[in-house]
Structure 1
């Protein structure tokens, strides 16, 4: 089985790679950049201008000014109301304490904990990490494949073990597959797995999910320092469980 995985179009590209795509390397690689949050206005309030003649009375001026304020403030109030309403509806779609990533070009989405920042790492499509606890991160990677289903590569245990040994964990670290399972979402198979990687000065507890779609082999991994695993594991499971592929 391992030989077939090594020759698989979905796996072989990483074998012998001197720069593994492991999310463990997030603290050592990449250029940090701030996360930006954008808000787009659907429309701008318009102004109605009233010209007063010299003969206009004081009361007439006040009446016109009052109506002008209504004309201006009305659309602004409506816009603010719509803005907060829209923001609330978007927030309701995501889980509390998490932000949503939707990549419409590559066809995937997932959640990540609020406060993590996006970083740029060569070879990775998306990476977010905690700036205080750098071992807490999530990364997404894709490679082309002719396979159409993750099950074509083998069982969850076989595929996860090959991925961990050959891609996710550097040769200098010891690794252990804790468990690997299969689940189905909207007719698409996903493999999820849990593993531990031990380096000389730290141990990282990780989770991953893999699937095939859009002619690509998708891998998403997340994790935390072993000393923070009990505190972070529920959040990290949410990240992995939220990963979905859609057709593009």
Structure 2
């Protein structure tokens, strides 16, 4: 449907949008929107950009001409201990043909993280990039070009969580700018298509184990739907991390507690 197609198309160009902001993380604080729009195109790219933007075909599931990969949902279990056990083939790619080199599924079940898993959620631990979070039981993992991890509801396309990771020379998110400034820039430049009307509701800073995170809430209005979303960003391991989750505005009241659990569970660890 139109909502699913719009969601997938937006996530496919996510990497390029982030790449345009990449030099900002290496040099100065995020400038105003006007200065971003007036900046010469050549100043928005680093030497390493071609490697980051390299595309490969994922000839797997196709809907409406858009390719993406759906992974089997994890089997139901009432024991958090069983979440930490490997299941043969769970992390095997279900694609035929060439798979992009950055699409690698890592061990998703850290025992220590699984012990803290809330009822109704499953843990994800990426040992290569150094992050972990929870997502609602029943969501499926899909592979979207330009995203590090994506899980989504099988019925409601706007109910999903995605993680994006890009390199940066900064050591702390506070080196780039304050929460509201960073939130507004990411929402307008990356987290929502330019055609959508966006509104920042709240942006705050919180610390976890001495690491600063910015968490913000916003809405993005399209002609046929409005998405209500939560994002959290942080810096560590020489990387800029962004986790975003959300739902259709009409289901926000029903989903907001789950989505807050997802965004609050996101943590970075040293690798």
Write out the 4+ residue segments of structure 1 that deviate beyond 4 Å after TM superposition: 10-13, 36-41, 88-92
- Over 3 Å counting, the alpha-carbon distance change for 1:124 and 1:146 in structure 2 is same
Report SS of the residue matched to 2:24. Answer: coil
Alignment partner of 1:246 is 2:269: yes
Highest RCO, 1 vs 2 (Cα 8 Å, sep ≥ 6) = 1
**Contact kept? 2:218, 2:230, Cα under 8 Å:** yes
Counterpart of 1:152 (choices 175, 196, 215) is 175
Which residue is 2:71 aligned to?
A: 33
What's the offset of the Cα at 1:172?
Answer: 1.1
| TM, length-normalised to structure 1 | 0.69
**Map 1:1-248 → 2, pairs under 5 A:** 7-9=23-25, 30-36=68-74, 39=85, 92-248=115-271
Report SS of the residue matched to 1:171. Answer: coil
Q: Distance in 2 between matches of 1:216 and 1:89?
A: 23
Report SS of the residue matched to 2:245. Answer: strand
Report SS of the residue matched to 2:25. Answer: coil
What's the offset of the Cα at 1:90?
Answer: 7.8
Q: Distance in 1 between matches of 2:200 and 2:183?
A: 8
Q: Distance in 1 between matches of 2:253 and 2:140?
A: 22
Q: Distance in 1 between matches of 2:268 and 2:236?
A: 7
Q: 1:175-197 CA distances to partner (integer Å, 9 max, x unpaired)?
A: 01001000001111000000000
Larger Rg over CA atoms: 1
Q: 1:107-133 CA distances to partner (integer Å, 9 max, x unpaired)?
A: 000000000000000010000000111
Q: Distance in 2 between matches of 1:177 and 1:90?
A: 31
Which residue is 1:18 aligned to?
A: none
| TM, length-normalised to structure 2 | 0.64
What's the offset of the Cα at 1:135?
Answer: 0.4
Q: Unpaired runs of 5+ in structure 1?
A: 14-26, 42-87
Q: Distance in 2 between matches of 1:6 and 1:187?
A: 24
Q: Unpaired runs of 5+ in structure 2?
A: 1-20, 31-43, 46-63, 76-82, 88-110
Q: 1:130-179 CA distances to partner (integer Å, 9 max, x unpaired)?
A: 01111000000000000000001111000000000000110111101001
CA-based RMSD of the aligned residues comes to 2.7
**Contact kept? 2:139, 2:154, Cα under 8 Å:** yes
Report SS of the residue matched to 1:93. Answer: coil
- The alignment covers a number of residue pairs equal to 187
**Contact kept? 2:113, 2:123, Cα under 8 Å:** no
Q: 1:173-229 CA distances to partner (integer Å, 9 max, x unpaired)?
A: 110100100000111100000000000000000000000000000000000000000
